Amino acid sequence: MATVDTGAFFDPMYQFEIVRILPLTIGGLDVSFTNASLYMVAIVALVSLFMIQSMRGRALVPGRLQSLAELSYEFIANMVRDNAGSEGMRFFPFIFSLFMFILFANMIGMIPYSYTVTSHIIITFALAITVFLGVTAVGFVKHGLGFLKLFAPSGVPVILLPLIIVIELISYLVRPITLSVRLFANMTAGLVIMKVFAGFVLLLGVGGVLGMVGALVPLLFMVAFTALKVLVAFLQAYVFAILTCIYLNDALHMHH
Amino acid sequence: MIRIDGVVLAQAEEPEQIAPALDQELTAELEADLGVAEDDAGMPQLAVGDFAPQLVWLAITFVALYFLMSRVALPRIATVIESRRDRIANDLDTAARLRQETDEVIAAYEQELTEARNKAHRIAAEARDKLNAEFAEERARIEAELAEKTAAAEARIGESRDRALAEIDKVAAGAAADIVESLIGDKPSDKELDAALKSAEGA
């Protein structure tokens, strides 16, 4: 484990390591409580604390936290209503949970020495495939087999139809992959860059006065990059939620 | 592909030992691709063995979050926002109603004011008319009285003058008779006197 300790300092991938805090196996399935599990529980706890505790007063004139909670509510509610129509509001709680989960995962990941749940492809893919399967199910339940017309847009010349259908089908099936990789890659790349530049600061910093002055360059970059990462953390949660709304709109209304 | 064949072939012998070995081989290859030097640290995101616990806990936590949001948090916020919207609408309604009431009161006040003003005008006009009538009556009465008195006075004056004139005739006749008597010593008769007076009057 000595190698891991040095890795903690210089290996940019070490921060993504899964550590089994409480090894556990049920019926051959590994259900260990890991650091990822800990952070997921923390996310749920924090989101719930934020959304429920702040509304305890049910004040007519909201305080700061209540305003934020209401702002989040209206922000997502408007997003769903604008992009998926009032029919889409049935799925508002799901999209809200999705947005808050990803947002808090990304934001908690901004804290030094913390772990970012959304930096793992399996997590983002699980979320994306849930959205994909759910949206497809909604489409078939609502339109029956007519949902397949989504792949054959009207007004396309018959000669082009086979080609268009193939393209549409691929673009539809690739959705869960793009949705999950976008989030995963953004978070992972940001964290790796952060770690690499932090390593530069450390390496230059031990090299005397000149090194310390030189270390200012990656340090300043890190400060600026942190601001960008906060933006990306919010933006990726937003993009995930709004794409879910758009996919849902396709399934509900089918206008292409 | 060949490796998969290798797995399939190896499975007949000792699958438990081959699979981790294959895993290590794959990880090493990945590390080489990613330029990671250390042996045991590949890309942790691709460690298939860590997938199961993550998926299980994601399912547990996300379902928990979903239920907490959809059953507790969101309905509560919706109620608060709804009640606020209702309250604001209610307050606006009340304000509109109060304003309407105010307008009504103002209109009633204006109307009463107009009525009072009209009434005052009417009373003033009546008083003026009454005064004018009384004044005209009084004036007529006084004028009539004056006219009566004037007429009586004129009658009296006429009477006095007639009497005076008659007496003047008599005095003149007497004086004339006296003058004639003293002139001719002969007193004229009344008949002659009358004729002479008459001719003098006619001259």
pLDDT tens-digit series, residues A52-77: 888 887 777 788 888 999 999 999 99
Instruction: Decide if B69 touches A, using CB distance below 8 A.
Output: yes
Cα–Cα distance for residue pair B110/B95, rounded to 1 Å: 22
Please give the pLDDT value at position B29.
56
Interchain CB contact of B32 with A (< 8 Å):
no
Q: A21 by DSSP, 3-state: which?
A: strand
Q: Which residue intervals of chain B are DSSP H helices?
A: 2-11, 15-34, 51-67, 74-184, 190-202
Span between the terminal Cα atoms of chain B, in Å: 181
pLDDT for A29 equals 86
Q: Which of A10, A54, A55, A56 would you mutate first to test chain B, the one with the most B CBs within 10 A?
A: A55
Q: What is the pLDDT of residue B15?
A: 45
Structure tokens at B58: 């994601």
Q: Do residues A217 and A158 lie in contact, with contact meaning Cβ atoms separated by under 8 Å?
A: no
Token digits of residue A96: 């809200």
Residues near A129 by beta carbon (within 8 Å), at least 6 away in sequence: A176, A180
How far lies A215's CA from each of A109, A194, A210, B128, B145, in Å?
A: 24, 14, 9, 107, 132
Q: Which two tokens stand for residue A20?
A: 């089994």
- Cβ of B65 and A97 within 8 Å? yes
A240 versus A215: the higher-pLDDT residue is A240
CA–CA separation, A96 and B70 (whole Å): 9
pLDDT of amino acid B159 = 92
Kindly tell me the sign of the dihedral angle through the C-alpha atoms of A158, A164, A169, A175: negative
pLDDT value at residue B24: 61
Q: Mean pLDDT over residues A81-106, rounded?
A: 94
For residue A107 the two structure tokens come to 């934001």
How many other C-beta atoms are found inside a 10 Å radius of the C-beta of residue B189? 10
CA distance linking residue A102 with residue A108, whole number of Å:
10
- pLDDT given at position B35: 46
Mean pLDDT of the region A79-86: 92
- Whether pLDDT at A9 is above 70: no
Task: Determine the 3-state secondary structure of A254 from DSSP.
Answer: coil
Contact B28, B39 (CB under 8 A): yes
Distance, in Å, from the CA atom of B57 to the CA atom of A34, rounded to the nearest integer, reads: 9
Neighbours of B48 (CB within 10 A): 9
Chain A to chain B Cβ contacts (< 8 Å) = 142
Q: Which residues lie below 8 Å from residue A147, measured CB to CB, with a gap of 6+?
A: A139, A140, A251, A254
Structure token digits, residue A168: 């549409």
Q: How far apart are CA B110 and CA B70, in angstroms?
A: 58
Residue whose token pair is 């604390």: A49
**Which candidate in B40, B46, B51, B58 is best for mutational testing of the A interface (most A CBs within 10 A)?**
B58
- The confidence score (pLDDT) of residue B12 equals 42
pLDDT at B2: 43
Handedness of CA B100, B104, B106, B107 (dihedral sign): positive
Tokens representing residue A62 in the block = 């909201």
Counting residues of chain A whose pLDDT is more than 90, the rounded percentage is 57
pLDDT average, residue stretch A136-155: 88
Mean pLDDT of A87-113: 94
Contacts of B73 in chain A (CB under 8 A): 48, 51-52, 55, 69
Which A residues, 165 through 224, put their C-beta within 8 Å of a C-beta on chain B? 184, 188
**Assigned token pair, B183:** 């002139």
pLDDT in tens, chain B (203 residues): 444 444 444 444 444 454 555 566 655 555 555 544 444 457 888 888 888 899 999 999 999 999 999 999 999 999 998 888 999 999 999 999 999 999 999 999 999 999 999 999 999 999 999 999 999 999 999 999 999 999 999 999 999 998 988 888 788 888 888 888 888 877 777 787 778 777 877 65
What ipTM goes with this model?
0.89
* B202 alpha carbon, distance to own chain's centre: 93
Mark yes or no for CB contact A43/B61 under 8 Å: yes
pLDDT at B9: 43
Strands A29-30 and A20-22: unpaired
